[in-house]
Amino acid sequence: EPYTLNPGFQAACVKHPILQFACHQNPKPLGLGANSGDCWVLVSTEEFADSCLYQEPMSTFKQDGSITYVPQEEEYLRADPARSMLEAFLEITKGLRADASVLTPKVIYSRCQRWGAAYPRQRGPAAPTPSGFEVRGRCWSHRDLGVCLVGDYICPEETQHFESAALSGVEGAKQILQDLGLTN
């Protein structure tokens, strides 16, 4: 039977040298459900991410000054820093778990993604709005389909960051509720 960590919170900002944020994915609409174990998203601190990028850069610089993007390889995504982030999360939640006898829950899947927008960075122009969609604040909406596209890449701010992505999601939810006539 899958183990549920149940540390007593669904999302938290934490003060730790490796982690800054943790979010439980199961409670989301169309989430994994109660009997599927746990799914957590962990966001590292900017300092930890920068140290990882220093060790294994996302780009290489050629002698002619051009930059070549280095793709995210499976080996990197399943190695450290994912392991370091998981260990930090388990350390933080150790005293909060519903079943204190389980020292280390069995991890079925772990993957790390290099998400540059998790930290404030200057950005280029916003992505082009797809056909049939309209810009509605921090999201794009297709009223006929009842769909909103959200994400940091849509936001009009001059800086992309984690908060932009979250605010875009909130804006998209509000627009859908408004289109359904459930709010003003």
Q: How far apart are CA 22 and CA 12, in angstroms?
A: 5
Residues 6+ apart with CB under 8 A from 169: 150, 151
pLDDT tens-digit readout, 73-118: 776 665 678 889 988 988 888 777 666 565 667 777 777 776 655 6
Residue scoring higher pLDDT (28 or 39): 39
Q: In this structure, what are the phi and psi dihedrals at residue 103, rounded to the nearest 5 degrees?
A: -75, -45
Residue range 3-9: mean pLDDT, rounded: 65
Burial class (CB in 10 A: 0-12, 13-18, 19+), 106: exposed
> CA-CA-CA-CA torsion for 50, 54, 57, 62, nearest 10 degrees?
130
Residues 6+ apart with CB under 8 A from 49: 81, 114, 118, 119
Query: Could you tell me the pLDDT band of residue 4, with boundaries at 50, 70 and 90?
Result: low
Q: Are 26 and 36 in contact (CB under 8 A)?
A: yes
| pLDDT given at position 134 | 93
Sign of the CA dihedral running 100, 10, 32, 43:
negative
Q: How far apart are CA 104 and CA 98, in angstroms?
A: 13
Q: Are 129 and 140 in contact (CB under 8 A)?
A: yes
| pLDDT given at position 17 | 94
Residue scoring higher pLDDT (42 or 105): 42
DSSP letter string, 110-163 = ------GGGS-EE--SPPPPPTT-EEETTEEEETTTTEEE-STTT--SSEE-HH
